[in-house]
Amino acid sequence: DSLGSGSVEQIVVEQSGTYWIAVSRVVQGSSGSDAAARYSLLVGVPVGSSARDAIAANRLTTAQNFALDRVLVKPVSERMRRSTVNVLGYRQVPIAVEGVSGQLARRRALRAIKTLRARRDVSAAMPELRFFPQGLPVPDDPDFARQWHHLDIDLLAGWAQSELTDAPLGSGAVVAVVDTGVALQHPDFVNADGTSQLTSDGYDMVSAEEAAGDGDGRDADPDDPGDLALAGGGTFHGTHCAGNIAAATNNRIGIAGVAPRTKIMPVRVLGRGGGTLDDVVQGVLYAAGLPNDTGQLPARRADILNLSFAGAGSSPPLAEAIAAARDAGVIVIAAAGNFDSPVEQYTPASEPGVVTVSAIDATGQLAWYSNYATTEGAIRLTAVGGDSRVDRTLDGEPDGIYSLLYRDGARTLYGQTEGTSMAAAQVSGVAALMKAVWPAMGPEEFDALLPRMVIDWGGPEDAWKYGAGLLNAPRAVAAAVSLATGKESLGPVLHVSSRALDFRDRFTSLPLTIRNVGLGDLSIRAVTASQPWLSIAPGKEGENWVRIDRSALPAETNHAQLAVDSDAGGAEVAVRAVTSSALPEVDLGPLTVALVDATTGEVVEYTLSSADDGYAFSFDVIEQGAYRVVFSTDALSSGLVGASGDWVGALPVGGGAYCLGEPPEGIACVAVPSDLTGDLDAPVPAPLTGLTLPLSLP
């Protein structure tokens, strides 16, 4: 629309189609209400330069992003000038738009401006436009592109929000990583100006010399010597978490932390063989600046505790320490745990007052290892934990979380790890961004902000997996800014439901949701496909369907991109489609294969199979009856079908059973396919042999 106050209006239509043009008169002032209105309507006629100038000078359109409850006015009269005006002579004038919203409210606001422009005591009236950063701050760290998980929480838009404040990127906040300690010598804890991302008052709380592995017990050196028995070997779990939170950024090496101006206080409580309850409790108390058995305190307590570890059951002493930390104003964030089990069975994730974080993978689903809730509120929110077994991001690498590691000798400074630990660290980093802009934020305030820090993920029925929703950096930072300053800084934020779509050899269409997770209006300028066999409809905000033309695929393996362009930045979605002939031979390691009685569900016989023999299997069926073949990977070498983390399949595909002898009542018997052999009508025993299992990978 074009709703200006001049004598010339213009609408430019950018897409072909059939349109209605509506023209209406807005009466300015009280006179002329019965006067006729005359206009000339020109379609497809170029506009001259003088008309363009007039349009620009008087332009008003609801396509602009502006405040709905106030306008900017430059008064003429001295009486009006005596009111509050800025140095340029403008003042804010409230307007009434109660009872309406959306487009109607925007049109009402513009009509108020037109009326004000007609007044003799007003020299200018205009919308209170809202401005937003257009260039998102991409750091110069060379491995930032490997941190795909940052995109899932819209971190760059979160940084843009943070940069609008006096404490950008977590400045002044301190996060205690209560873990295995950190590799103090890691170069990516050093900023470009030579300063360190680590505080100088971390502590080693591992009391047993053998478990500590550094030659002594508790001391003021939180360096991680490795938590494995082999000298120099270790998971460097604390280093990985600390890097995810606050690795040095724009230092031209490695990666970028979520809150790159936040300081990390390393507190070592886990050594070889894990950690003891007393060591963990003392570490929590120390990090919170509370009295502890060492008699030592940090120069400044931490604002946030990151607890990315788990123990079975509950722990009253640890619960007391966490409660004391909260009473001191410390936010306590904990990983839900990686046991694919109820989170209520583990500590510290189940302790009162803890912000417990589950993990999703690159597809946005609850990660295969993540704990979940069986009681309301046990999971508070979810973040990205990854899955190192697969490549769903289509970047040629497993989908683990890439962060800092450290190993002697080979100098493996960086690497991937998966887990709710990584998700918790992501939340701790965003909490640091929030704490920096709102120093008064404590655990109660953080709890109250949780609904504003996330985007809906699933529905209310999925709260047992995702809590309030998926962490979103710009929403979280903007919520803190609004409470710190009383002003709303968040504009529209572009979010796509997936950064990669894999059509494999079977799909022809997949969904893609384009969302505005910020405030204000999001304008999708274009969604373009890089290949002619790829298309998207309708290509707008909301649910879309991405389709491929399989008949037009030029190669066995095909790659393409979808580019989403909006007034709030852009996003790219990687696409892959393969033909059946391009599917690789799958080696999932040994498979556990079970023959299951279809009537009772009991396992009759187990066997193992592997890729070396084409995943063939054989059973000696010993009784007449109905049978199913159930098979699974064996990620944990448990020898069981369907253990935690395993992929599971079954024959016959789609249900039913292979029947030996007379079909049992209520069982649908299925013909034996060509890749299975077995004389099911012969007297028992009869063999059932499979030459190729129809594996269907998720």
> Average of pLDDT values for 410-425?
89
117, pLDDT greater than 70: yes
What pLDDT score does 651 carry? 80
Handedness of CA 253, 257, 260, 264 (dihedral sign): negative
Closest to 201 in 3D by CA, of 180, 221, 226, 175: 221
What pLDDT score does 408 carry? 56
Lowest mean pLDDT among 152-166, 171-185, 442-456, 627-641: 627-641
pLDDT class of 692 with cuts at 50, 70, 90: very low
Lowest mean pLDDT among 163-172, 221-230, 504-513: 221-230
Q: Which residue has the higher pLDDT, 230 or 190?
A: 190
662, pLDDT greater than 90: no
| φ/ψ (deg, to 5) at 606 | -110, 155
What pLDDT score does 193 carry? 94
pLDDT class of 241 with cuts at 50, 70, 90: very high
| φ/ψ (deg, to 5) at 473 | -65, -50
In the chain, the percentage of residues whose pLDDT exceeds 90 is 52
What pLDDT score does 675 carry? 56
Q: Which two tokens stand for residue 32?
A: 């002329």
What pLDDT score does 429 carry? 98
Q: Where are the beta strands (DSSP E) in 65-111?
A: 66-75, 91-94
Q: DSSP assignment, residue 132?
A: -
Q: CA 502 to CA 496: how far, in whole Å?
A: 15
Lowest mean pLDDT among 95-104, 251-260, 392-401, 563-572: 95-104
Highest mean pLDDT of the ranges 131-135, 242-246, 590-594: 242-246
pLDDT class of 696 with cuts at 50, 70, 90: very low
694, pLDDT greater than 50: no
Lowest mean pLDDT among 51-65, 198-212, 663-677: 663-677
> Average of pLDDT values for 241-262?
97
Q: DSSP assignment, residue 552?
A: G
Q: DSSP assignment, residue 31?
A: T
> Average of pLDDT values for 283-301?
97
Supply the pTM of this predicted model: 0.72
What pLDDT score does 87 carry? 62
Lowest mean pLDDT among 202-206, 561-565, 628-632: 628-632
Lowest mean pLDDT among 24-28, 62-66, 511-515: 24-28
**Dihedral through CA 642, CA 648, CA 654, CA 660, nearest 10?**
-60
100, pLDDT greater than 90: no
Closest to 501 in 3D by CA, of 559, 586, 552, 557: 559
What pLDDT score does 466 carry? 97
Q: What is the mean pLDDT of the chain?
A: 86
Are 57 and 5 within 8 A, CB to CB?
no
> Average of pLDDT values for 320-347?
97
698, pLDDT greater than 50: no
What pLDDT score does 279 carry? 96
Find tokens 């104003």 and name the residue: 329
532, pLDDT greater than 60: yes
Q: CA 185 to CA 206: how far, in whole Å?
A: 20
What pLDDT score does 399 carry? 93
652, pLDDT greater than 60: yes
What pLDDT score does 344 carry? 97
Q: Whats the size of the chain, residue-wise?
A: 698
pLDDT class of 102 with cuts at 50, 70, 90: low
Q: Which residue has the higher pLDDT, 614 or 606?
A: 606
pLDDT class of 273 with cuts at 50, 70, 90: confident
Are 197 and 207 within 8 A, CB to CB?
no
Helix, strand, or coil (residue 194): coil
What pLDDT score does 379 carry? 98
pLDDT class of 697 with cuts at 50, 70, 90: very low
What pLDDT score does 642 carry? 64
Q: Which residues are catalytic?
A: 179, 237, 421
What pLDDT score does 30 carry? 46
Closest to 341 in 3D by CA, of 354, 318, 358: 358
Lowest mean pLDDT among 172-186, 219-233, 502-516, 673-687: 673-687
Q: CA 246 to CA 155: how far, in whole Å?
A: 13
In the chain, the percentage of residues whose pLDDT exceeds 70 is 85
> Average of pLDDT values for 334-360?
96
What pLDDT score does 60 carry? 87
What pLDDT score does 695 carry? 43
Model pLDDT for residues 461-501, shown as the tens digit of each residue: 999 999 999 999 999 999 999 999 888 889 899 999 999 99
Distances (CA, A) of 687 to 619, 623, 653, 657, 660: 6, 11, 20, 15, 10
